[in-house]
Each structure stands twice: as C-alpha cells, then as structure tokens.
Chains A and B, each alone.
Chain A
Amino acid sequence: QQPVQSPQAVILREGEDAVINCSSSKALYSVHWYRQKHGEAPVFLMILLKGGEQKGHDKISASFNEKKQQSSLYLTASQLSYSGTYFCGTVLGGSNYKLTFGKGTLLTVNP
C-alpha cells in the first residue's frame, strides 16, 4: 500500500517554511523520510516509530500521528540546500518490515 504524499510540489523563497504530509490507509509501524537531489541517491533524514513521536534534525523536523496514520515533515527557515525531492517510506505493522515509498514531493527553494 503506497503512502500518499502531499503536496506533489512546492516552491518557496529562502527563509520560508514548508510542510510535507504522508498518509496511509493502513496502520503504520514506522515512517522514514529521505531527500533526493536531482541525479543523486536518496539520503536518509529520520525515522519515526509508532507512539506519536517527534524528531528534529537541525531545522527539519517531523511528527507521526498514530491516530491519523499520518506523518508530517516540517522545514523551517528553508535554505537553498533544502531543494530536492522528499520521499516518505512506510512500514506497516506485521509487514515483514518492507519499506514502501510514496511518490515524492518536489521542493524548490529560490533565492
């Protein structure tokens, strides 16, 4: 079951904030977030486990709402280096731990 990401694309000016959402119709065990710059490999950002935790990584943080089966990635005071495609990956409870990725959100930060 592929998670649904929204929005599909977002354009920001440097210093603005953005939120990227990742939703599942099934019960989740964990949510992973990765960033991929054009022509490069995806790079791991963070993992959130069920239990509704929040994690932070510099000015990029995320939350996991177990009731809604949804995770949100927060990018604050965006920098040019934040540009790229953000993917969430979900692991379902009892799924043999296979990671299923969403289709991605293209984030463009302009000067």
Chain B
Amino acid sequence: NAGVTQTPKFQVLKTGQSMTLQCAQDMNHNSMYWYRQDPGMGLRLIYYSASEGTTDKGEVPNGYNVSRLNKREFSLRLESAAPSQTSVYFCASSELQGARQPQHFGDGTRLSIL
C-alpha cells in the first residue's frame, strides 16, 4: 500500500523554467493538499482540493497553479520558477476535508531553483 506518492523526489531548475510536480494517492481519499516547507516556517498551504473537480487557494498560492486530474491525482505547476520557490513540497490527502480528518503526507519533492 503506497499511500501518497510524489514525483520527482529531487529537481533543480533554472529561473524562468516551468515544472509540474505530480502527486497520486491510492487510499480513495476525497481531499488533497499541496504544502511548501521552508526552514523555520513550518508547513504552509499552497492549494487544496476538497473533492474531485474543485480547487481552492491556500495561504501562499502566488506563482502556482494546480489541477485535480481525477480522484487519485493532484498536480502542482510552477509556470515560471523563481529562486523564492526553492523549497520542499509536500502533497497530502485526507478522506474528507474537515476538522476531524488526519492528513497523510507523501515523502516530498525537494526543489532548487538557481
């Protein structure tokens, strides 16, 4: 049982390049999330999808777009990468969106932008 799978695990980009981070979950969860983690900042929500067909902005959405491709997959796109987007990106999922729902995280994508 893989849980939440993120690809790639590592990536180096040049400023201005575009990139799509992939996330897939096999737990039949309805809700999915993208976070970024920077040293000393904790996890900050970029975008989330409460259910298939819906997406919504989180705390730090600027410079990113998302697509909920189907119930299993939720991708994050950087259209024109900037050094400030160097971070570790985590995808997570939960059965439903709600205050009582634990989130299950993938192993992360470590992204460096030069």
CB closest residue in chain A, given B90: A41
CA distance A29 to B97 in the complex (A): 14
The answer to whether A87 and B42 touch (CB under 8 A), given A40-B107, A42-B90, A97-B97, is yes
Q: Are B45 and A98 in contact (CB under 8 A)?
A: yes
- 26 A-B pairs whose Cβ atoms sit less than 8 Å apart in the complex: A2-B42, A29-B99, A30-B99, A32-B102, A40-B107, A41-B105, A42-B43, A42-B105, A43-B105, A44-B103, A44-B104, A49-B100, A87-B42, A96-B56, A97-B97, A97-B98, A97-B99, A98-B48, A99-B45, A100-B59, A101-B43, A101-B44, A102-B42, A103-B40, A103-B41, A103-B42
B residues within 8 Å of A by Cβ? 4, 35, 40-45, 48, 56, 58-59, 90, 97-108
